[in-house]
Amino acid sequence: MVIANRQTAELFEFSAGMPKFDVPFPDFIGQIWSAQIGEAARLRLAEQCASWPLKERRSLEVELHNGHRLEMTCNPVPDGSAVVIIEDVTERRQHEAAMLYLARHDALTGVLNRRGLGIELERILSHAAITEDDSPALLYLDLDGFKQVNDTFGHGSGDEVLRDVAMRLQRSVRDDELVARLGGDEFAIVIRHAKRTSAAALAQRIVDELERAFHLVNGKTAITGASIGVAFAAPGEPADVLIARADKALYEAKQAGKGTYRISGDTPVARPQT
């Protein structure tokens, strides 16, 4: 038995009148959505339904041409047959996607947040074929003099600068590179395939870019800069260790006078004990 509510039933399009009910279940489902999903997708769906264990409580999701997502839930009954409930889950999936996006992105700038960076970086590291000349790299940067921007112009103007910083960073990287805000005035960039020369060039380009004045909506001009720590991934290294090494290199750049970058391992400087 197949049950569909009115909202879901309105999505059905039958190319030749009402569907036939005296056919195998995969054929019945295929003919319901033949006009909505196309012939190739219809065949794939019929294949999925054919292997779908109707004696177990399982769900199968289908995406239609118009963007709607339908979920079929199988509910076995004592006589050995099953009731299949078809539900439009489009809004639910959109809400879930929106919540997932918010959980992984910074609300102020729209770039990845610390959690999102960790997830993406772990995924990149797990698939990377790391060699001496090609490995993922992390650039960890901190704005120089940002507190003075907040103190002079207020936190609203500080937020404006942070949004502008995120946009400048996104313009400075390639499409396959990631930008994240780690909190406060700290940002990070992930390069999937980096060499020492290319990572150093990007770091210097960002230092130069963030030295340019920020023109605020109140007509004022804010000046800041950036210091950057760079770390290249080692085989088997977890994301948090790579981030910690880049953070240490950032500290070394700050110690060197700010407005510059340092690469992890190049200039070891011990952090003071707290």
Four-residue CA torsion sign, 240, 229, 173, 103: positive
pTM (global) more than 0.85: no
- Where residue 42 falls among pLDDT bands split at 50, 70, 90? low
134 included as an active-site residue? no
Both 202 and 124 in one domain: the answer is yes
Which range among 1-15, 62-76, 94-108 shows the weakest confidence by mean pLDDT?
1-15
Domain of 75?
2-94
- Where residue 262 falls among pLDDT bands split at 50, 70, 90? very high
Whether pLDDT at 171 is above 70: yes
pLDDT of residue 63: 74
- Where residue 16 falls among pLDDT bands split at 50, 70, 90? very low
Both 22 and 142 in one domain: the answer is no
Q: Which residue has the higher pLDDT, 100 or 28?
A: 100
Question: Mean pLDDT across the stretch 155-163?
Answer: 97
pLDDT of residue 136: 96
Which range among 16-25, 83-92, 192-201, 237-246 shows the weakest confidence by mean pLDDT?
16-25
Q: Which residues contact 232 (CB under 8 A, 6 or more apart)?
A: 135, 136, 137, 194, 196, 199, 263, 264
Whole-angstrom Cα distance, residue 109 to residue 52? Answer: 44
pLDDT of residue 1: 47
Question: Mean pLDDT across the stretch 161-179?
Answer: 96
- Where residue 73 falls among pLDDT bands split at 50, 70, 90? confident
pLDDT of residue 53: 63
Of 67, 94, 121, the residue at which a domain comes to its end is: 94
Question: Mean pLDDT across the stretch 51-69?
Answer: 70
Query: Is residue 34 classed as helix, strand or coil in its secondary structure?
Result: helix
Residue at 77 is within a domain: yes
Domain total for the chain?
2
Both 195 and 239 in one domain: the answer is yes
Quote the percentage of the chain above a pLDDT of 90: 57
- CATH number for position 222: 3.30.70.270
Both 121 and 180 in one domain: the answer is yes
Adjacency order of strands within the sheet including 59-63: 2-4, 82-88, 69-76, 59-63
Four-residue CA torsion sign, 154, 157, 158, 159: positive
Query: Is residue 43 classed as helix, strand or coil in its secondary structure?
Result: helix
pLDDT of residue 249: 97
Q: Which residue has the higher pLDDT, 182 or 93?
A: 182
Which range among 113-117, 131-135, 197-201 shows the weakest confidence by mean pLDDT?
131-135
User: Choosing from 106, 142, 144, 185, which is the catalytic residue?
Assistant: 185
Whole-angstrom Cα distance, residue 131 to residue 137? Answer: 12
pLDDT of residue 272: 42
Residue at 67 is within a domain: yes
